[in-house]
Structure 1
Amino acid sequence: MENVKTAATGQSANSNIGRHTYMWILTLQWPTGGGFATSTSYGTAPIPVGTSRKEAYEAIRAEAYRHAGREGATTLFFSLEPDQMV
């Protein structure tokens, strides 16, 4: 999901001034036939300073929906943490 960097922020991945890079993981689930299917996606996103966690989640979830081909799937897991190890 290389394009998540731009999809999650709406900005070019090269314009990182006033941003911090976060690593995210998102697992979605949806019904199929007699059971369920899941999709786990991950990536990094340069999130602008001042962006709420909710705004970041909604942008990342929208990209994960496109990746999974499933609008409206249920989120089973979401993690958003600073990408830089200290």
Structure 2
Amino acid sequence: MAMLQLECPWCGPRDEEEFTYGGEAHITRPPEPDAVSDAAWGDYLFFHTNTRGLQSEQWCHSHGCRRWFNVARDTVTYRIHRVYRMGEPRPGFDA
């Protein structure tokens, strides 16, 4: 399989080996972690949608600017639909 090319919002296109995958994006941390049951905390940490198809993911340019950003990527074809900065809303997946 060919290497994935990611486009860092700050540094531009780079090979996948410069980045670290951070899992699914837009997962909200419980506002009061001490008040959450062990089961709910486990759900937050370990159970995600793992979508087949378009999914928003977190990536870090670990061998570059070290900034985190989000990628809307198809998990079947590996096609990257959008790259967007942390804090920006999840884009529609119509492209």
TM-score between the two structures when normalised by the length of structure 2? 0.28
Q: Hey, which of these two has a bigger chunk of helix by percent?
A: 1
Mark the structure with the bigger radius of gyration.
2
Greater RCO, 1 or 2 (C-alpha within 8 Å, sep 6+): 1
Normalising by structure 1, what TM-score? Answer: 0.30
Structure with the higher strand share, 1 or 2: 1
